[in-house]
Amino acid sequence: MNQVAARYESLRRDRRKALIPYLMGGDPGLRETADLLTVLSEAGADLIEVGVPFSDPVADGPIIQAAGQRALNNGCTVAKLLATLKEVLPGLGTPVILMAYYNTLYHRGIERFMAEARESGVAGLIIPDLPPEEAGDLRHYASEYEIGLNFLVAPTSPAERIRQAAEASTGFLYAVSLKGVTGVRNQLPAGIPDFIARIKTQTSKPVGVGFGISTLEQARSIGQLADGVIVGSAIVQAIAEDSSFQKVTAAVRNLKEGLAG
């Protein structure tokens, strides 16, 4: 069992839900990324998602797009990010999932990328622009290197697509809460309970919900429906607004309280 699936299994036994904060690798810098992984872990993160900066992030809204551009401007590359993770992850204690667009893997080479990710201690992978039917090579190497794959489904996904994504996911199934890109929302779509219920009829694998979640109340409501909550833009914004990381620490603790309640 890979580390992502194992963490979800542990949480399920303890009747707890996963809090998964997202940060952009290399924003504001690689040294800060290393520090932030420890900050998020100690604040209560159950898993941490790390974005690989990319020039054409089609799934991301303006906050994460800006973070990715800052990282690229600062000279962050795949090699430098993986080298940073390799220094930190062995002693972190919280599994880290990379979020990367497929072009990044394709140009580096699928096998090479997966081998390097494994060597760096990466536990899982999210590729938002790769459908499960196109992931044959990736699934092979993910199994070889024990890296959990986590495919996305959307409110518009038909039952067969949900079934395929669930079958290919070896960590958790990533449910996108809304139609659109990442970003903070004042209100989540009213159809989320029906969407999660529809997913649960197709699979017994853990379901994590992301896109749009930023408040304690939103985390609490999603935690009552799903197995995990992914928070991206609100975390990235908190990091950008306070270089002491006190604001992001408070945000993660607040979200954790929402899931516990």
Residues noted as catalytic: 49, 60
Task: Yes or no: say if 71 and 26 are a contact pair by the CB < 8 Å rule.
Answer: yes
- Strand arrangement, sheet containing 173-176: 148-149, 124-126, 96-99, 48-51, 18-24, 228-231, 207-210, 173-176, 152-153
Task: Yes or no: say if 35 and 245 are a contact pair by the CB < 8 Å rule.
Answer: yes
Look at strands 152-153 and 148-149 and give their pairing: unpaired
Give the count of alpha carbons within 13 A of 231, CB side only: 33
Task: Yes or no: say if 242 and 250 are a contact pair by the CB < 8 Å rule.
Answer: no
**Secondary structure of residue 24 in the 3-state scheme:** strand
**Secondary structure of residue 92 in the 3-state scheme:** coil
Smallest CA-to-CA distance from 174 within 141, 201, 206, 220 is with 206
